[in-house]
Structure 1
Amino acid sequence: MATSRNQNTEASMKKVVYHQFGERDVLQVTSAEIPEPQQGEVLIRVHGAGLNPIDWKTRSGLGFVAQQIEEALPWTPGYDVAGEVVATGQGVNTLAPGDRVMGLIGFPLNGGGYSEYAIATADELAVVPEELDLVTAGALPLAALTAWQALFEVASLEEGQKILVHAGAGGVGHFAVQFALARGAHVIATASAGNRDFLSELGVHEVIDYTTTDFADECFGLDVVLDLVGGETGKRSLRTLGEGGMLVTIPTVTADEVVSAAEEQGLRAHGITVRPDIFHLDEIAELVEDGEVRVQVEQVFTLDQAKQAHERLETGHVQGKLVLDCRGEA
């Protein structure tokens, strides 16, 4: 049975939009009507909206999404949300108002996460474990799904294998090292010295300070490399692979050159584009619930601080994730 919104009928919400591509100052906070969920849709009061590198790259006019949405501006960024179901549209029988949910929504062309309220389809949403507050949960979907799909769908990581994760303390990286550890792999990660203790706390077996040590001299015979840096780092990582090993590269802008370099050397490398998958999200939620995975949030910003959040995001040196607390005054 559909549940219609009533208390919000005349209400408005705040959301972040940009009318053109550019620097951080194109991000504006504006007021809009709270949308009604349609067939198969859910209206969420957003508590946390995660920030991801694709957000600032798209805002800058870079990449596939920017090409696709250029004629559809103004646009609200944000694919990661967690919050509370407010209303459901016709045909939604798996969720009800009050449910605590998270998901990778509107990916890749609709976005909409940087907002007090967001529309998602019911099949994009998983239930948030009670152990996780909803602002923190907003940090999880895109980065965790990227790590999960790279390790287990593409690389088929197994217990006892050796894996190197570049940028192990970052958004995707800190999930990847934890998933690999949970699977029983031997985990090596590159990071700056300032992140050594953080990664050691997560259980990483070996941390290589990329500012002082050449990982290619330290690693050999690896089963899997998860390349979250791309470019020359990805290509140099190929020499660390053992027979039958595989490199999975995430940055799309250099994926083709890394994969081509692997093919020239008779090695295996693949790029990956994340996709929504609530079955994977449910499995990840179970690991969080069991205490095997933690969600590291370096800093929380308000919607009004979206520009500052993007400034931090663009440094590329965030420990874990950044999140917008979208709850406003309500």
Structure 2
Amino acid sequence: MTSTAHWDSYWQASRSLNSFGEGEAASGYEGELLALWNNSFKQLADNATVLDVGTGNGAIAVAARKYSNLTQRRFTIYGADAANIKPLQVFADNSEIAGLLATITFYPECKTEALPFADASVDLVTSQFAFEYAERDAALHECIRVLKPAGQFMAIMHHTNSDIAKDSAAGVAVLNQFLNASAFFKHARTLLACMAEQAQRAETPALVQRTQQANQSVLNCSRQIKQQLGPESLAWYNDVMARVAKLIVNFSVTSMTQLDIEQQRLALFLKRLVDQQQASLSTAGAAELSALLTARGYAYQLTELNIEEHLFGWLLKIKK
């Protein structure tokens, strides 16, 4: 990724520790996924150092802190991300999460390919849905470089056949239709302009007719978009329609500005989804990664990971 603006905006506005596509609670991970990470923390000695790369708002780092507090292990925990993350600011009004985040040292605008940590200084490097976004060779070199002897790198990476990837593909299809393949937002903007004109002066038959025509154009366009989509895309379609419909139903002087904001948000969302698609590993991609790891002489395991009986991603473990 050459620009992180679409991720900066997400992490700075999101009330979630983790990324949009993971389907977990806003306060962090739970269930089988949390148990998997806790098992990796369990293997660490007291006073161990943990580094989470691509940390976002700190979901893995917070999980490590919770485990450390529960077991009195006194971990030192760092979180690094290429985006301009501000987790403490985002959760300033949540005393529980803010208290945990305050015990973690964050490195915003810090690429995995250039980590600001000394050689052999970290016991465990973690990553969930992040490592695969980086330039592979350089990121791999850095993650191993900072590990102490016998340290471990553990990463969960996107899989092209996972439920997450399939849902994201549906999202890309829907957002492309609304943003790029149709004039939906142009029609919505025309309708809001007519409604604004109605609010400012007495209605005339011509204005009423233009408003009705604009409304019909929005409806026709939305129907055409829906016809292009499969049932797997319905939730995405309904989400976009709900965002726009509320601005029309609850029309105010700010509706036009809010429409522009929603369009921009969706455009940034689309960029994040495309990033995810490009970063996801297919079976062939995993084979290429395995070949690289073997060529470098790493002791590793790369397996498909199922969570709650659904394909979730690839699980990579490297022992230094």
> Which protein is richer in helix relative to its size?
2
The normalised TM-score by structure 2 is 0.36
Higher radius of gyration, 1 or 2: 2
The normalised TM-score by structure 1 is 0.35
> Which protein is richer in strand relative to its size?
1
